[in-house]
Amino acid sequence: MSTLLSIYVAVASLSVETITFVRISAMFIPAVGVTIMRLFFKDPVRSAGWRRFPVKWLPAALFLIPLAIHSINLPLVGYLNSMEIPWQSWLTADSEGIFHAPESRGWGDLTMSELAMRLALNAIVGLIIVSILAFFEEIGWRAWMLPKLQQGFSPRRAVLVSAVIWALWHVPFVVSGLNYLDEVPMLQMLVLYPTGLIGAGMVLGWLWVRTRSIWIVSLAHGSLNNWGQFAFKYMRDGSGEPMDWPWLYTGVNFSLLLIGIIVLVTLGKETTKN
């Protein structure tokens, strides 16, 4: 289904708004697949952990991936920009301590506390929206596919295989331009994007094995998609601005792979009892 959708995007002349809609719609494909398996093959999700929400795993779900990304790549960005972070110019207050947000944001003029509130609200609302969308992916990848892989593999190997499959599922979206960055060469994206997704998939799989909770993995997936890039959304990206996106893209995907490997090695041959 991802390949067919990507072919449609590649051959059709779509507006930016339509491509955004298609990109969001693609997140429903795993849930559609699970529905098909249930209705026509009598093979539903056995246990998605609907009533399971282990709070002790919430910090890991929310912060592990974003912290891994930012702890490595904020210093990288600083190094590439003469030891300074190239924040957007409006994030520097004027002589009276007022921040003048771009008109496109609709925030107006803000004090420091008002800006902090706006950023926090943006982060929370963004996480909620993206996590809801991520739920429709996770019901297929982690709640349906990963338990089946665990029937034939150790938890560690099952998580790795599921992460590779999940990463490869995204490749057609890169080729078609559905997930594409103009600032990063296509070949680099084709190599690094699935590499980083394998790392992210290992973290999500690790969380599933540890918690068996669809809510925890959905929040972690939402955190990856939203908070994982949070600081970088407020950096300059115009023509001639001091941002080296290919290096940043490399750093982000390397950090995902690194944190994925770290959590994967903590999984033994037996699952942890919850």
- Tens digits of residue pLDDT in 93-134: 999 999 999 999 999 999 999 999 999 999 999 999 999 999
Residues for the chain: how many in total?
A: 274
189 belongs to a structural domain: yes
Residue 187: is it exposed, middle or buried by C-beta count within 10 angstroms (0-12/13-18/19+)?
exposed
Helix (H, G, I), strand (E, B) or coil at 165: helix
174 belongs to a structural domain: yes
User: Is pLDDT at 34 greater than 90 in this prediction?
Assistant: yes
269 belongs to a structural domain: no
Q: What is the pLDDT of residues 3-28, one digit of tens each?
A: 788 887 877 888 888 888 888 999 99
Q: What is the pLDDT of residues 187-213, one digit of tens each?
A: 999 999 999 999 999 999 999 999 999
Among candidates 134, 107, 131, which has minimal Cα distance to 119? 107
103 belongs to a structural domain: no
**To which residue do tokens 């995007």 refer?**
9
**To which residue do tokens 């995204």 refer?**
170
Query: Which residues are CB-contacts of 77 (< 8 A; sequence separation ≥ 6)?
Result: 85, 86, 232, 235, 243, 248
> What's the domain range around 253?
2-87+128-264
8 belongs to a structural domain: yes
The reported pTM is: 0.93
253 belongs to a structural domain: yes
Q: State how far the Cα of 92 lies from the Cα of 233, in Å rounded to an integer.
A: 15
- CB-facing half-sphere around the CA of 193: CA atoms within 13 A: 21
154 belongs to a structural domain: yes
| Number of domains within the chain | 1
Q: Which two structure tokens, joined as six digits, stand for 261?
A: 């490997």
42 belongs to a structural domain: yes
User: Is pLDDT at 272 greater than 50 in this prediction?
Assistant: no
Q: Which two structure tokens, joined as six digits, stand for 266?
A: 């903590």
